A = this chain, B = another copy of it.
Amino acid sequence: MTDQSLTRDTLEARLRAIGAERYHDKHPFHHRLHAGECSMDEVRAWVVNRWHYQASIPMKDAAFMSRCTDPGLRRIWRSRIEDHDGGVDAGGGIRRWLKLAEAVGLDPDYVASGQGVMPATRFAVDAYVRFVREAPLVAAMASSLTEMFAPAIHTQRIAGLLEHYGFATDETLAYFRQRLNEAPKDVGFTLEWVLEHARTRAEQEDAIAALSFKTDVLWAQLDALWNGYVEGRIPPGAWRPGEGLA
């Protein structure tokens, strides 16, 4: 380490501060969703659009693995793809997302087709996949550290949805419940790896910027949802209420 590099504790604190400042648990769409104030069409719009994010996550992880020369790192990272894709019969997180889609009255094939996803959602999510494919390895890894902040929002969401919406059951919310089991193993390893491998100040600042970028990716998705479906300015070509129903 050079004189200018951050201590391990300071780097960890800087990373955690990003969650406190800009993680999407602070976005009004989430407050609305968790408080039971979303109309069913707003919930459907969220399910349709967040599908694109969910479906892109294993591609993002594959992009990361395509750059790892270390089989040990690839073996560990592979479990993320397994979590989302699962086996042919059982499926994984993606299939659990489609259970939620069904529960809110959407045709899961429509949701899975990705039709109706807002362009702004695609632009944000696709920027994330590309970032992980192209950024320095430590930064690519650090961008996934929003998982540090996810368990709190998933816990809130499960409680809020169960309290306020008829469609919410243990089965239909299985995606979020399962993430509560999966994310801690991922984040423990990744945080440790980033703290260990981001040594120079430049690498550390890259890691911090990468995590900040990722919060932008999440925030922009909710801004687009709010604009399209709470304010009712649905962009051309995006899902409209009444479309894609089961």
CB within 8 Å of B: which residues of A? 21-22, 28, 118-120, 122-124, 126-127, 130, 212-213, 215-217, 219-220, 223-224, 226-228, 231, 233, 235-237
Contacts and interface: CB of A to CB of B under 8 A. Distances in A.
Contacts of A213: 119
Nearest to A218: B119
Classify the secondary structure of A's interface with B.
helix
A120 B224 contact: yes
Contacts of A216: 119, 235-237
A228 B227 CA distance: 10
Nearest to A21: B236
8 contacts: A22-B237, A119-B213, A120-B220, A123-B126, A216-B235, A216-B237, A223-B235, A227-B227
A22 B235 CA distance: 9
B219 A236 contact: yes
A228 B228 CA distance: 13
A223 B235 CA distance: 8
A216 B118 CA distance: 9
Given A123-B120, A127-B123, A223 B224 contact: yes
Nearest to A125: B123
B223 A236 contact: no
Contact of A28 (B120, B228, B233): B233
Nearest to A227: B227
Given A119-B219, A120-B123, A127-B127, A212 B237 contact: yes
A236 B215 contact: yes
Given A215-B236, A226-B227, A233-B226, A220 B119 contact: yes
A217 B119 contact: yes
Given A22-B236, A123-B124, A237-B212, A223 B219 contact: no
A169 B44 CA distance: 47
A157 B216 CA distance: 31
A216 to B, nearest CB: 4
Given A219-B235, A220-B235, A237-B216, A124 B130 contact: no
Contacts of A28: 233
A118 B124 CA distance: 12
